[in-house]
Amino acid sequence: MIIHLVRTGGFGGMRREVRIETGSLPSREREPLERLVGEAEFFSLPGKFPRPRRGADYFLYSLTVEDGERRHTVEVAQPLLPEGLRPLVRELSKRLKG
């Protein structure tokens, strides 16, 4: 499985991303990540969430997951993150690189 998170926006407007091939990870790291993708029901989420009606400086996430034949991208702003997706985004955010 390939997981790719790009975070833009925020006060700083900085682009940061992380790309993980779960197959290259030891199983103690791979399994929790793949489980979070499953728990988020990622492949059933809409591809594009609406823009928040109010507010500013929120983070913007573009998250892509490839799993075998399946590939899906979800674009969503921080305030509108579905609850089920939050743990995965939180976990990936710890691994963001420049």
Which is nearer to another protein, 15 or 70 (by Cβ)? 15
Select the residue interacting with another protein from 2, 55, 70, 71 (CB under 8 A): 55
39 is a site residue for another protein (CB under 8 A) = no
3-state secondary structure (DSSP) of residue 31: helix
Torsion of CA 61, 67, 69, 75, to 10 degrees: -10
Structure tokens at 78: 């921080």
CB of 57 vs another protein, minimal distance in Å: 4
CB of 69 vs another protein, minimal distance in Å: 26
50 is a site residue for another protein (CB under 8 A) = no
Residue 72: which residues within 8 A CB-CB, separation 6 or more?
Answer: 42, 43, 45, 47, 64, 65
CB of 85 vs another protein, minimal distance in Å: 12
